[in-house]
Structure 1
């Protein structure tokens, strides 16, 4: 039985008087995500709101600030126009009257349990995830909302703001920029502060930087992708998973770096990202063996991570380009090597070398970006750990006027067989925070290996 009640669902539009219409073409970097599940994030805030204050003051403030934010992010309040004929290209289109679904809810769930780091039932979080409104079929094309928002009150404890967006709308850099802009306007009460502080960082939707040859690739990708069904906006429940958060403080990270450099003194690019993700990767694979999973030692284990390619393009795109602009990194190791005692060091070497030789090589990364669709298809059925999020984007900084967020949960990692969320640690300066969603037995094994691996 749900302990959460929907109080209202309304539609929030930009202020009147905006552009008559704005259509943003989808590039190949957007099109490849058309059939990917929505990205879902939850931000919890600890603040003892009462229900009357929440309903009479806070909700109206959030609505007003959201409307002002959408003025600068018109396509976010628009829809994906998905043609039934692949001769026509998909676009994200805003027309006056378009709006964002905004749900208001109240929950009697245990707030402190929800914001904990310990393993807990992943199903609990779905009460706070907004539902993207249903697709409208207009015959020649489908109209698909691109984002939905929900704010849930835990009386006397805090609130949760939930975000769900289609990946084709934009990558983490774009969506986090939108969230931080909304927080800034909500905190200050007007858009002047946003314009003063972040005016030069307001989103750019212009696609004119893309060359004719790239536009041809866009069309090719659409012909390949356009035949597929649109992905369902919900995950099947129950997930049969538990979620937990693991913190790497500065001391942990330094110790892991020293461990790698002691064995591989000439290795470059031994960053916090490299040692953190490599340690999680090796612990996760070993946890499979610990729970009785039988894997041929010669089977390849993959680790894949997205890379913001804006600055790596020729010419580069501005940092505030709104959309998807991703390359990727990829490391692979035989299973038998990764589960050895030195598996972590082997993993760190593979990830560091991929970053140094390919990710940081503009030509190599460009090739990967161009081949992303065919490469993604190769990933189907292989053993791969992916990453959602990046330490570069600090969602804990999203202060709506009640201080920094208390907990971030990337709910969409439930939709992957193995995926980790990664962000800056809220409470450990210079530290990192990893979220995992795994079957209970696998999580217990991972936790034991993780804790023992950091004892020194």
Structure 2
């Protein structure tokens, strides 16, 4: 944790949705799908958003609490709990009238502008602005929130959510909904693209659900129904930092990659060289170089939102997890060579193209493949620019920085604050790696220019 004098907890309150109308159901229960169960014991998702504002906390806090309550009325499962009943083959999410979300109110005298910059910071400094999710083996709240006030300069909103219930798309929709209702005031109604869909019949794959359930039940102990998540451990010298690839940077790298492919007769018209592929390729290569990975195969785990990829497609507002993934493989010696970014981009583009051959087939193969890999040779991608967090306006000032808590060997992607089409890349590095990575990432961009 950050030094105790930097963050002081003022209150821990609990916010409930408004009481339901007379004769309305007072309980909501729905089972997890196999997409949810895949992440049952994964790391929780943790994010923090920094807003600069001179508006007084006496105005900010009541508005945040009131609009949170209204938002929970549409997102009842977030106020509920994840449980695994003794008579059930899979876990369920249950909301009962009276369930509430934990909201920590804190105050900090840390340097707000340092925290909300893209400079490298000690991981524990950032983590102290995100709440804990107090879970047991048998019961876990779905979400917890924390608002930290920086007197006269700004505030932050941090959340932690159980990945076995919701993915990043659902949580981004919730945060945008909360911001929308806070900004609009009164008892505004959510617009359709922010209104969650709870119909679980749109995802019905009992065979895969059975595979996931049995996998967890047989882990460590027989009939293991624990819903405890993995703990995200950060070493004392872990640093978080952010870098930006502008639209121009990405276009330059893309043209360079295409030129390399053409020169080496590797061009394949069926491969789509997206902004995502270019950003990930460049970052992956930088990480492999800085980490000085030993010779051999390395892997990049790519998470994919399946909502639009299923047959039939699932609405974008579907509440829950709807993620699968694919893995790009490459030789570490080739990645650190002069054609490294072109090789990485090809591996990523081909992995994504192969994923299109069958979402469910990919889901069946992904978990066993990940388990078989040497974990210190696997790099992970977290987040998405499509979450558009920098458009999230609570009505108190513009978002200065959106951070996701990540672990070593991961990097995060988000939209850029300037709204000019670039991508922000978040890193978790050891302290001795930060200077080398910063130099490599920024100076390397000059090499990717096609005249």
Q: TM-score, normalised by structure 1?
A: 0.90
2:318 aligned residue: 321
Alpha-carbon deviations, 1:67-107, whole Å to 9, x = none? 1101111111100012356x532101111011100010000
Q: Does 1:12 align with 2:8?
A: no
Question: Structure 1 residue 430: deviation in Å?
Answer: 0.9
Alpha-carbon deviations, 1:111-167, whole Å to 9, x = none? 1110111112111012211111343x6xxxx22101000000001110000010011
Q: Does 1:220 align with 2:211?
A: yes
| 1:65–1:233 CA distance, 2 compared to 1 (3 A) | farther
Question: Structure 1 residue 392: deviation in Å?
Answer: 1.2
Aligned partner of 2:41 among 27, 35, 39:
35
1:57 aligned residue: 59
SS of the aligned residue for 1:174 comes to helix
Question: Structure 1 residue 345: deviation in Å?
Answer: 0.8
Whole-Å separation in 1 of the counterparts to 2:194 and 2:59? 29
Whole-Å separation in 1 of the counterparts to 2:210 and 2:186? 41
2:302 aligned residue: 305
5 Å-filtered alignment, 1:17-416, equals 17=20, 19-49=25-55, 53-54=56-57, 56-83=58-85, 87-135=88-136, 142-194=138-190, 198-199=191-192, 201-211=194-204, 214-226=205-217, 227=224, 229-231=226-228, 235-236=232-233, 238-265=235-262, 266-267=267-268, 268-289=271-292, 295=294, 297=295, 299-356=296-353, 358-359=354-355, 361=356, 363-379=357-373, 381=375, 383-411=377-405, 413-414=406-407
Q: Does 1:421 align with 2:421?
A: no
2:220 aligned residue: none
Whole-Å separation in 2 of the counterparts to 1:373 and 1:303? 14
SS of the aligned residue for 2:237 comes to coil
Identify unmatched segments of 5+ residues in structure 2. 218-223
Partners of 2:238 and 2:429 within 8 A in 1: yes
Partners of 2:123 and 2:234 within 8 A in 1: no
Question: Structure 1 residue 371: deviation in Å?
Answer: 3.2
Question: Structure 1 residue 370: deviation in Å?
Answer: 3.1
Q: Which range moved further: 174-183 or 232-241? A: 232-241
Alpha-carbon deviations, 1:422-447, whole Å to 9, x = none? 01111250111000011011222222
Partners of 1:37 and 1:231 within 8 A in 2: no
Aligned length: 429
Partners of 2:135 and 2:228 within 8 A in 1: no
Partners of 1:8 and 1:103 within 8 A in 2: yes
Question: Structure 1 residue 191: deviation in Å?
Answer: 4.3
SS of the aligned residue for 2:446 comes to coil
1:435 aligned residue: 426
Identify unmatched segments of 5+ residues in structure 1. none
Q: Which range moved further: 121-130 or 262-271? A: 262-271
Question: Structure 1 residue 397: deviation in Å?
Answer: 1.2
Q: Which range moved further: 442-451 or 61-70? A: 442-451
Q: TM-score, normalised by structure 2?
A: 0.91
Question: Structure 1 residue 32: deviation in Å?
Answer: 1.4
Whole-Å separation in 2 of the counterparts to 1:336 and 1:375? 22
Cα RMSD for the two superposed structures: 1.9
SS of the aligned residue for 1:93 comes to strand
| 1:193–1:74 CA distance, 2 compared to 1 (3 A) | closer
